[in-house]
Structure 1
Amino acid sequence: MLRLATICACLLAAPAMADDLTVFAAASLRDALSDVAALYEAETGTDVTLSFAGSGLLARQIGFGAPADVFISANTEWMDVLDADGDIVSDSLRDILQNSLVLVARAPSPDVELTAKALMGALGPEGYLAMGVVTSVPAGIYGKAAFEHLGIWPMLEGRVAQADNVRAALALVATGEAPLGVVYATDAKADDRVAIVARFPDDSHAPIRYPAARVSRSEARDADAFLAYLTGETARRIFADYGFDAVEDTP
């Protein structure tokens, strides 16, 4: 039966049984990957445990020895860190998905121009912009880069509420605690309490890709099979339904 687990920085669980599979994945994949994993379980009989959090936290946990079999990051940088340290199987590494970056507000809301004047006006005198932590959460890293590219980060930097992951940033907007937030297009699609009010130009930040790889210490027999399943027709259809784009050059 599919299980969702929460990663705790201070606890490392016992290694999974060889017939089970533990997947660490970026928080933005929660809904789509849960559906993919449920179908994989039904087709193979393999029990899949999914642990969702910010990619930086998950990468650090794997580096500390957490018992993951597969890691799916929301950016290539954290995967590169693990690859350099020998924590993933390099030959298994593949980009599986693409996403885009958007600005959201509580629905319904009018469009907002990506200018300092418009953003500060939308935030109001006391409002904060919700983003993932800009030094470790991929959506926060992409968002900061986009604002820097647009020349408005210095004006916004002091008005940012940094969240542990992109779904936490989304929740701040959805519940009305923050008037604006930077999330992925797929996150905005997943919550009808928010509306997309602006889309960041693709050239304002690095391409948003999701690499996946087998963790080096994994003994799970199904790790490679699950990685292959992620790029198969069934998984691609589910990911597309949630708004993700496939990476066509994935091997």
Structure 2
Amino acid sequence: MKKWIVASLLVLPLTASAAPIEMRAAGSLKNAMSDIVAAYQLESGQAVNSSFAPSGLLRKRIEAGEAVDVFASANIKHPQTLQRNELAESVVMFAQNQMCAIAQADIELSSQNLLQKMLSSNIRLGTSTPKADPSGDYAWKVFAKADVLTAGAQQQLETKALQLTGGENSKKAPAGRNTYGWVMENKRADIFLTYCTNAVLAQKEVPNLKVVQLPKELAVGANYGMVVLKAAKPDAWKLAMFVLSENGQSILADYGFSAPLKL
């Protein structure tokens, strides 16, 4: 985003309107964005209704006519699609993440042997659902990088990957549970590729899980994009401004996101 656009957002007055702002955000943002929304409501007096789901499914809901004011995606592509179809304003990258691996306690896993373990026939490899959830798309990028290191690895990994989360028909974790902690606790995968922020939250719920960083040869970063919809309420830009503010960026950083606009 151009600096003058950020600056103009940061000086908008925070005055409340009667109708709640409707925010939709990626599931991986639930904890951080819930805190951001709570802080914004306290400061502005403006009510906000939030809903969290895989970004691709949220984009489809918006395209189908769901009334949404602000959309925060786990990638840039879905907001850009809405912008290209003249449903949204300019796309802003407001946070970054990285992919990590979660492993069961009995899996001898390190960054160095991660690819070997993922390719092993006796390892069940879990991912989210590509196209519906950017986490799945990022996992497929990891597989493409693996093919450079081991010929045929991409096809093998794509074939064996269990798409356990993020799809329209994926089994849902009980209310209040971290999806990935729940999946791993129920032994549905031996290794699961997801965002590092998700992995840390999963390990907090299931302490015996291992969290392993991807080696630099397989490392994949995630850029998060936000848009205000063209049909949004006038005050929607004020919520977007708060996400971009020092307060919003600090909350994102507290949850392990790289906050590119943090002052």
Asked if 1:186 corresponds to 2:200, the answer is no
What is aligned with 2:172?
Answer: none
What is aligned with 2:154?
Answer: 153
Counterpart among 204, 208, 215 of residue 222 in structure 2 = 208
Distance 1:240 1:164 in 2: 25
Distance 2:126 2:160 in 1: 9
Change (3 A) 1:170 1:139: farther
What is aligned with 1:102?
Answer: 100
Asked if 1:247 corresponds to 2:260, the answer is yes
Following TM superposition, by how much is the alpha carbon of 1:150 offset from its aligned partner in structure 2, in angstroms?
A: 1.3
Quote the sequence identity (%): 26
Distance 1:204 1:188 in 2: 15
Matched residues, number: 226
Q: CA RMSD in A?
A: 2.4
What is aligned with 2:75?
Answer: 75
- Structure 2 counterparts to residues 55-204 of structure 1, below 5 A: 55-90=55-90, 93-107=91-105, 110-112=108-110, 113-115=113-115, 117-121=116-120, 124=122, 127-151=123-147, 152-165=153-166, 168-169=179-180, 171-192=182-203, 193=206, 194-201=209-216, 204=219
Q: Secondary structure at the match of 2:88?
A: coil
Distance 1:22 1:45 in 2: 15
What is aligned with 2:29?
Answer: 29
Q: Secondary structure at the match of 2:231?
A: coil
Following TM superposition, by how much is the alpha carbon of 1:158 offset from its aligned partner in structure 2, in angstroms?
A: 2.6
Q: Secondary structure at the match of 1:177?
A: coil
Change (3 A) 1:22 1:107: farther
1:137-173: CA deviation from partner (whole Å, max 9, x where unpaired)? 1111111111111112222223211134296455322
Following TM superposition, by how much is the alpha carbon of 1:42 offset from its aligned partner in structure 2, in angstroms?
A: 1.1
Q: Secondary structure at the match of 1:217?
A: coil
**8 A contact 1:150–1:204 mirrored in 2:** no
Q: TM-score, normalised by structure 2?
A: 0.78
Q: Secondary structure at the match of 1:216?
A: coil
What is aligned with 1:230?
Answer: 243
Q: TM-score, normalised by structure 1?
A: 0.81
Q: Secondary structure at the match of 1:245?
A: coil
1:54-101: CA deviation from partner (whole Å, max 9, x where unpaired)? 1100011111110111000111111111111011122xx211000000
Distance 1:96 1:224 in 2: 14
Query: What are structure 2's unaligned runs of at least 5 residues?
Result: 1-16, 148-152, 168-177
1:88-116: CA deviation from partner (whole Å, max 9, x where unpaired)? 122xx21100000011113475424232x
**8 A contact 1:190–1:242 mirrored in 2:** no
Change (3 A) 1:67 1:155: same
Following TM superposition, by how much is the alpha carbon of 1:224 offset from its aligned partner in structure 2, in angstroms?
A: 0.4
